[in-house]
Structure 1
Amino acid sequence: MTKIAILCTSATTFGKSAEKKPTGVWLEEIAVPYYSMMEKKFSVDFFSIKGGEIPIDAGSRGEGFYTPECVKFDKDDTAQALMKTSKGLSELNVEEYDGVFLPGGHGCCTDFYQNQELAKTIEQFLTAKKAVALDCHAPIALLSCKKADGTTPLVSGMSVTGFSDEEEGHVGMQEEVPALIEKEMVAQGAKYSKAEGAWGAHAVVEGTLVTGQNPASSKVCVEKFVELLALTQTQVVN
């Protein structure tokens, strides 16, 4: 059976201001991938940076964001039990999983950013040729990842995406985030791309890495992730 780790932020606040902004994981970005994986009969374990209950950004339950999958997820006893009892990042053994999916949310700007333990875990999955997907703000973790030489930025020369600078401007958080994902990816030599219009669905595959741009990208991001899983597992069998 295909075994997947969903790895979320543990942060409840973020920002540079003295008065921190409330946050957490963006609900759609965990609900959509979770149900896609359940449909495929995958075995799914929930992880977070610290372990324990995973916080949800209240904004992701707001009008226009509270999708049918989100409503279903909130009423799903199994999903809610998983959300309350996540394992910590330190417990994530790369060898035990076929892939890892990292949902976004501004919480990632607090505990995914410059997290060397997380960067090492992502690097280990990729080195093992296992599928890795990061959506929306989760790709901020990639800014700390390196290629095999230990010095070159992982995203250098790679096709990637993540929450765009324009979208960050739309939500008024460009002065609060520790780094603008699009700007920093480009600075590290990445081939960054985005949807034609802000908030459009967009996901990119490079090797066994999938990156999604925003909440609307969660569906296409997990679809590409599932496709990669089938490909990588076939290669392992052969």
Structure 2
Amino acid sequence: MNKRIKMTPLFLLLILSACDLRVLDPASETGRTIGSLIELSFLLMMIVLITVFILFAVFMQKYRAKDYTCIPPDRKENKWFEVTWTVLPILLLVVLAIPAVQATYSLTYKSEAEKGDLEEEGTHIEVTAEQYSFTFTYPNGKESTNDLVLPVDREVTFTLTSEDVVHSFWIPELAGKIDAIPGKETHLQVTPDEVGQYQGKCAEFCGSYHAEMRFTTRVVEEEEFERWREE
């Protein structure tokens, strides 16, 4: 019972912040990298929040007015405090920035020239977004709408574009969001490592039926993927 009481504020905070909890249940190395950054950010935020509330309570108690008719004297400056509350935020930003920059570079799209033949080393899927669906085109010409099938433990490269407005391609458990932009190609690489079914969605408001722009992602074994692709 005590454990539930302790966890309640955390769940309330996540709900109020509109956090998608599936991000914290990753099924790929990319998803785990992003999840680690979210957890680190949350930890730093809680450290700052708790510190501020503790100092607030201490100062309210220590410096509360006892005589409302007198004006308290001016306090001299405290250089130690001023340096501390200037340096600490910088240190916190550095602690967050280092892994964030490392993750950004590790997740950066690698071109075909760097990766070689995508058909031999992985799977290349073209994603076309339009109001209000995603169309997936595989190298052999097979197309599917709102039904994405991926092989487990194989790197997948998505090349995205849009037919109308800006959309955002997102599978919370597998990878971060990436925009699909009219007249421009964007790229995303991910290697799913757990068989299962995951929900994808458009994460950029794109019109009246934006909330219905969802798709199913199925990660299957290699043999099942090849059978499905050749059907």
TM band (smaller chain): under 0.3
Structure with the larger strand share: 2
**Which entry has the higher C-alpha Rg, 1 or 2?**
2
